[in-house]
Amino acid sequence: MLGRIFTEQHAFSKGDSVVVIGLGRFGGAVAQSLIRLGHDVMGIDRDAEQVQMWADRLTHAVQADSTNAGVMLQLGIADFAHAIVGIGTDLAASLMTIMALAELGVKDIWVKAMTPEHGQIAQRIGAHHVVYPEADMGARVAHLVTGRLMDFIEFDDGFAIAKIHAPALTHNLMLSESHVREKYGVTVVGVKRANEDFQHATPDTRILPADLLIVSGPTRKIERFAGRAKK
């Protein structure tokens, strides 16, 4: 799930090469998702068993010391468009790997961080993007656990996109009639109806009681609007 969320939010353009360093739960999930999206992926890990496990699933899988810039140079890592450092428990190895990647001039370095301090140091020494999968998943679960939201992605500025059941106030009305945006400050982006393809919403879209809505807007306003589906 973590890998799926990461690649959905930050998917690279098709054909870009990616090196994933650390093939544990997070790194492996990201690597597998990138392969499904059609990217060439090299996986690197110190653990021979992990490398063997991924050898047949990735474009390349290599057992190597990612903290050694010389080794990384020999592997051709400088030619990769993107690097993802998925090392979680070994802070020193994570930071030294980032330094090696920065030394090689990798233009797009993503790092899994366990703490804000880890993330801050990572950015200071060369990481371009930091993700906090455990914290992000915790926040995601908190929004989903009440049952108001069926799916949820929140961005850094408090803006979110969510899938919800159509609230009663929208039933059998066109969006231009229910005035969702004016009254609740959220935008209905699309509608998913049973046994039908997703459709983009327009002012003339009529909402049926069983519809699922894709809505966007400030997180608190989406929560408030979604809560009306329970009434």
Q: What is the pLDDT of residue 223?
A: 82
DSSP code, position 178: H
| Lowest-confidence region among 96-110, 145-159, 162-176 | 145-159
pLDDT surpasses 80 at 158: no
Q: What is the pLDDT of residue 132?
A: 80
User: b/e per residue, 18-53, with b = 16+ CB within 10 A?
Assistant: bbbbbbeebbbbbbbbbbebebbbbbbbbeeebbee
Confidence band (pLDDT; 50, 70, 90) for 131? confident
Structure confidence by residue, pLDDT tens digits, 162-211: 888 898 899 999 999 999 999 999 999 999 998 888 899 999 999 999 99
Mean of the per-residue pLDDT values for the chain? 84
pLDDT surpasses 90 at 122: yes
Q: What is the pLDDT of residue 151?
A: 75
Alpha-carbon radius of gyration of the chain? 21
CB-CB contact of 160 with 29 (8 Å): no
Backbone angles phi, psi at 95, to 5 degrees: -70, -40
Q: How far apart are CA 214 and CA 120, in angstroms?
A: 34
Quick one: what percent of the chain has pLDDT higher than 90? 58
Structure confidence by residue, pLDDT tens digits, 37-74: 888 999 999 999 999 999 999 999 999 999 999 999 99
- DSSP for 76-113 reads TGGG-SEEEE---S-HHHHHHHHHHHHHTT-S-EEEE-
Q: What is the pLDDT of residue 229?
A: 52
* 174 vs 145 pLDDT, higher one: 174
Q: pTM (2 decimals)?
A: 0.63
